Structure formats: C-alpha cells, structure tokens
A and B are shown apart, each in its own frame.
Chain A
C-alpha cells in the first residue's frame, strides 16, 4: 500500500495491484468470463487494501503507533489478506486451465472454475457492494449464472472425484467406496468393533443389571 501511494511498481503476486481499475465491470455478466471475474476480484482486493491503509494511516496520523493502528484494524486487515489469497487461488486455477490441451478436460474444469469464482463473489457480496463494484442487476445475473453452473458440473461430478485417484483403503470410508456398496460395508465394519465381540457388554452385566434388579 505504501508503494502504491508512492507510485512504485509492485512485482510478484501483488503486481496486479498496479492496475488502475477505473472502469466499471460491465463485462461481468451471465457468461461468467473468467478474466472478467478475476479482474473484478482483483479490484475488490485493491480497494480493500487501500481502504484499510487509509484507516491505518489515519490512526497513525492521530498519534497512534503502527502497532496500535494495526491492532485496531487487524480484523479488517485479516479480511483483506483473505481476499488477496482468493485472488491468488483464482488466478492459478485459471492459469492451470489455460495450459490444458485436452478440450474435454479443459471444458469441464472451466465450468468448475467459473463456479469457484462466482461462488466466492456471491459469498462475499458485501465487499463488492461496499465499493460499488457491482450493480443489483449484475448480482441477480451472477446468482442465476452460478446456479446454472451446478447443472453443468453435475454430469461430471463422479469423474471429477474419481480423478483424485484415492484407493478405497486410503479413503477408509464405507460411504466413499469406488463400488458404491455402502450399506454392506457399514455392516462389515460394525462386525470388527470390539464392542460387538460379546453379546452382553461387561458394564451391563456388572452395573446395569444389578441396578435394574434393585
């Protein structure tokens, strides 16, 4: 933030903060263009950073130390840093898709990525409203588009998790078995439990039955 105010050029994962983002985000619409969604989130994170910086610097100018000012606004700083991490994950997701050569795979991951981006915008809609980055009409379009994405991902959902390539042993789950034989697996697991090794549990014999007979 200090360097931005001094007009210096930022590099690395914060280089997007150099951009001016003066335009409105008219390209954010029901098509969910990834570049438009990313730019919107980058804008949000820059606005949050500058907003927090002003609050911190105001506090310092009124006589507080940097540490006092930081502590005073630390919850807002936390939210701002989370927004920056969201930009990083979106950016790397989009970059990774750009490198995929198989069309079918790129297509399904693009749908997943679009959902990821729009879901994160909708979940944090308050920030976008605070800085006037979206209109009411755009929010309505984004929400509708987000729900439409669900039906696009739905046919590939099982393949998307099969691709993680976890063996049944690693999943260690009766519910998540590759063959889907869930209920038999639950019953087989129960047979292993030491608590089922005896028909009558010791505590029932020693405590419960005598108590009931009293």
Chain B
C-alpha cells in the first residue's frame, strides 16, 4: 500500500466501518454483500472485466446478457435484490442485461394487477419465465402523457383490445431492452371504448415469441441507434399494427373494462405513476453511489499524487493539501453524504406511501410524486456536476478511461434526461409548491 495512504488511514479520527454500516443498511447487509462478492471473486467466468471496455455495441449487448444469465443461474432468484450490485461489482463498465425487467416490468405488474392477474403474471415475471420491458414514451411524446398517440380500442365482440401506433411519432421508444431482448412489455395506450377516449391505461403485451424470439403478429421492434452511454442496453423502438390482446391484459387493479365494454373508473388516477416513482427513487440512490465512487477515486488519487512545493525545498506534497483541491473535492464529498441521507429518508417515505396506496390510501401520492421529481433532478444534476469536478481534480489521468471517471461521468450525465428531463421534473415540484 502506498505510504501516503497508510499515513492517512492511521490518522483517521473514526472507524470507517461504522460509517459503512450506517450507509448501507447495517452490519448484516454489509457482511452479506461482502460474502457474496467473495464467493464469486475467484469464479473463472467472472474474470474478464477489463475486456468489456474494448467491445463494440453489439458485443456489449451480447456480453451483458451472457453474464447476467450466468449470475442468475449461479445465485438463483433468492439474491435478486443484489444482482445489480453484484453485476456492477464485476462489470462496472457494463449494465445488467435486462435491468428494467424487475425495476419497471415486474414492479408495475405487482402494483397494477388485480388479484387474478397477479396470480398469473407475477410468478412468470419474478421467476424470469418471461423478460419484460416498459413502453410509455413515444418518439414524438415524452412527459406530456395526455399527448400519447398509441391506441387500445376495445372490441366487445371478441373481448379483445386492438393496439396500434398509428403515426411515426407514436412509435414507442424506451431505452431499456425493448428493442432486442424483451419478449413482453407494459405498454401505455389511450383506451377507446365505443369511440370514447378514457385516457392512458397500462396493458401487458407479448411482443416476441417464447419459442424463437421472433416478432408477434403486428409487432416490429428494433434499436433506434447507439447512444451517449449505457450501450450494453438496447435503445428500443416498437411499432404496432392491429395487435390483438385479450381483455384481461388491461391491468385492472384500479380501472376496469367489463366484457360488454362498460368502463369502471378506479379511485386513483395517479397509480399508474407508481413504478416510475420507485425508479426515480433508485436513480437518487444511483446518483449518490456514482458520486461516492468518483469521490473515492479522486480523494485517494489526490493523496497519492504529489505536485509542487508549498515552500521552497520542502519537496512535493499531496495535491489534497492544497486548498483549491480540498474545496472542490470536499464540496463533492459533502454533497455525496447529503444525497445518501436524503435518499434514505425519501426511500422510507416511498415504501410507506406505496404500501398505503396498495391499500387504497392515496392522499400522500402527490407529495411523494413531487419530492421525488425534485430530488431526482437535484441528485442527477449534482452528481454529474461533481463527478466532472472529481475528474478535473485528477488532471490529465482523469481523462483516461483507466481512471474510471469518464465512464462514471457519462453514465450519470444521461440520468439527467432518462426517466424525465430534469428541468421538466423540477418544474413539477415547482408546480406542486405553487399549488399547495
């Protein structure tokens, strides 16, 4: 170990492990995570992390799927909540092969299925008998959900919905394995019954064959093109031409359509946003985590890196001893801790409010929606800004991919846009504040 780091660690005023436990949910969780990593550390199939830096987009997608499935097989579904952590641990420059399957597809089914639907769909989703994605955004329509053009017209004679993306702007677009990997998706479409529009509703839709992964009739999907980051996840698009699905594939926990076409409106129109809220909560955590990684890199390097003499003849000293370096890095570090504690608080609130909502108590929904939109924006903006600061603090080597920082920066920068453009998100918070 570098002597400068030995000296720093000896001089610390507290035991870092107590803080580790505070951050990650206690001694038991930390030990469990460490044991999982240790059990996989010497696995010969997980030794190629550096190789993944040098792959093409297609190779990256292939690599991510292969390694994800390897982890699923090896660990089984019991360690599901740790898959993301483990994957990132072994393949930091890659993304889990189908990250949105649990985060959006399975969680939406859990939140929006009625009991009968839940019995049918949840085992399939949680046991990975099917792979799901989410199809809300359209090429021409984002945040303004009322503007979505995809239609689901009810046909009472056959008790089916007929789904269409009638224009080029209505082509579904979801940067989360919709194009190449998923065989099912949750699709958001305008519901029409007897020529009357009832607004957006969620449907579960099979898009590819379970036998040979070919398109289902009337479905076309693909990749809209390479993107700024996260290129091991496809940038999916989807077009639908008179795709028929049974009536019970409308998720009917709240709103229902009876066989004869009678529409029964549920108590809570905001419930459709629940899965997006859990994802936004996860983004706040991911922002804090990425910034923490960047701070770790930059602070350790700033201790090792020696430069300039503070006084003539005193010899070079660690760049962390210079005030400007401290000012930049400690503003990043203190922000990281602030984001961690804000996430812990809002995550608890999120779990509680969604549990209450499942039991019909939805009075806190708007509050949660508003603060999550704000914190998602704040955390991704700050993480992006300060990861760049950390990169600058590493000088020329910070530009090198070997520093890990360009990757962290690009992965975080795109989170300012996905799952809601930050300015639009924070204005939702602003609107809530003006209204209340």
Contacts and interface: CB of A to CB of B under 8 A. Distances in A.
Contacts of A78: 423, 426-427, 430
Interface stretch (A35-43, A102-110, A134-142, A202-210): A102-110
Q: What size tier do the contact residues of chain B reach?
A: 35 or more
B89 A161 contact: no
Interface in B359-383: 364, 367, 371, 374-375, 377-378
Nearest to A1: B434
B427 A171 contact: no
Contact-size category for A: 35 or more
A172 B88 CA distance: 10
A12 B331 CA distance: 28
B74 interface: no
Interface in B369-421: 371, 374-375, 377-378, 394, 397-398, 400, 402-405, 407
Interface stretch (A20-28, A81-89, A125-133): A81-89
B434 A163 contact: no
Nearest to A56: B434
A209 B2 CA distance: 44
A173 B404 contact: yes
Interface string B263-274: 000000000000
Nearest to B325: A150
Contacts of B32: none
A150 B344 CA distance: 26
A162 B9 contact: yes
Interface string B12-49: 11111111101110000010000001000000000001
B14 A170 contact: no
A167 B404 contact: no
A61 to B, nearest CB: 15
Nearest to A90: B338
B145 interface: no
Contact of B431 (A70, A96, A115, A165): A70
A157 B19 CA distance: 13
B292 A180 contact: no
Contacts of B433: 1, 14, 49, 80-81, 84
Sorted from nearest, which 10 A-B pairs have the closest CB atoms?
A180-B2, A176-B297, A173-B404, A159-B12, A116-B334, A163-B19, A77-B430, A172-B92, A163-B16, A158-B8
Interface of B: 1-2, 4-5, 8-9, 11-20, 22-24, 30, 37, 49-51, 54, 88-90, 92-93, 292-293, 295-301, 303-305, 320-321, 323, 326-327, 329-331, 333-339, 341-342, 344-346, 364, 367, 371, 374-375, 377-378, 394, 397-398, 400, 402-405, 407, 423, 426-427, 429-431, 433-436
Given A161-B295, A166-B293, A174-B402, 8 more contacts: A78-B423, A81-B426, A88-B375, A92-B338, A163-B23, A175-B304, A177-B300, A194-B54
